[in-house]
Amino acid sequence: MSLGRHGALAQLAATAAGGGLYGFAIGAGKNLTYAWRSAVKFPLLLLGTAVLCAVACFVLARFLGAPLRCLDVQRAAFGLFRNVAVMLGSLSPVSLFLGRTMARPDAQSLGGYPAFVGVNMLFLALAGSVALVLQARTLLVAHRVPWRRSAAVVVSWLLLSLLVGGQLAFWLRPFFGIASLTGEPPFLLGDEPTVTGARNFYEVVWQFVTGADPGDYTRGR
């Protein structure tokens, strides 16, 4: 698990490159402004989530009885999001193709935009789940953590990454854009409420679960 200075820089570069490629691809579905801004913001999303989750993952692991060292968990967290970035970077040509060929939104319809967002959410979920399971399994096996306890740790880390990454993505939005956006799009929306009044990721999820109209497509995500 040892990482020297060059190894850490290589991880950072891989995360920035893979995340930047994917961010450019999802933003290019709208225009080059979104493409370049998302190319900057997406690596920030991955690295920010890694920083916020690193210590929390260690606390969760120890709470669940896994004898992991804090430094090992932190290295695993950054390795995890590097792997996510690499996988998403490899999918960036697919996302770029879908974004440029989808039915364009107009005043009457969102066109292919909801499907485009849905496909990319699937990419994110798959890449994140696969990377986390593989990285966590390697770490837990190295420390001889029993299978049941390992499963509990992996599930808790998945939920933590979703909650932290989802809120950070909400704050950094928009990553995508549609034709109904007018004027110069903001670099980020922060806690500006959605059309349904949600001011954070958790309210958006709650509104979706309870059947409220998400309606946030007019502000991008």
Q: Where are the domains of the chain?
A: 5-219
- Confidence band of 2 (pLDDT split at 50, 70, 90): very low
User: What's the helix, strand, coil split of the chain in %, to 5?
Assistant: 70, 0, 30
Number of other residues whose CB lies within 10 A of the CB of residue 125: 12
Peptide bond between residue 93 and the one before it cis (omega within 30 degrees of 0) = no
Q: Is the pLDDT of residue 11 over 90?
A: no
- Confidence band of 5 (pLDDT split at 50, 70, 90): low
Distances (CA, A) of 12 to 5, 8, 58, 93, 115: 11, 6, 21, 22, 31
Number of other residues whose CB lies within 10 A of the CB of residue 212: 14
Output the pLDDT for position 191: 84
Q: Is the pLDDT of residue 211 over 70?
A: no
Whether 136 and 209 have beta carbons less than 8 Å apart is answered as no
Report the alpha-carbon distance of residue 217 to residue 2 in Å, rounded.
Answer: 44
Peptide bond between residue 174 and the one before it cis (omega within 30 degrees of 0) = yes
- Confidence band of 109 (pLDDT split at 50, 70, 90): confident
Q: Is 84 exposed, middle or buried (0-12, 13-18, 19+ CB in 10 A)?
A: buried
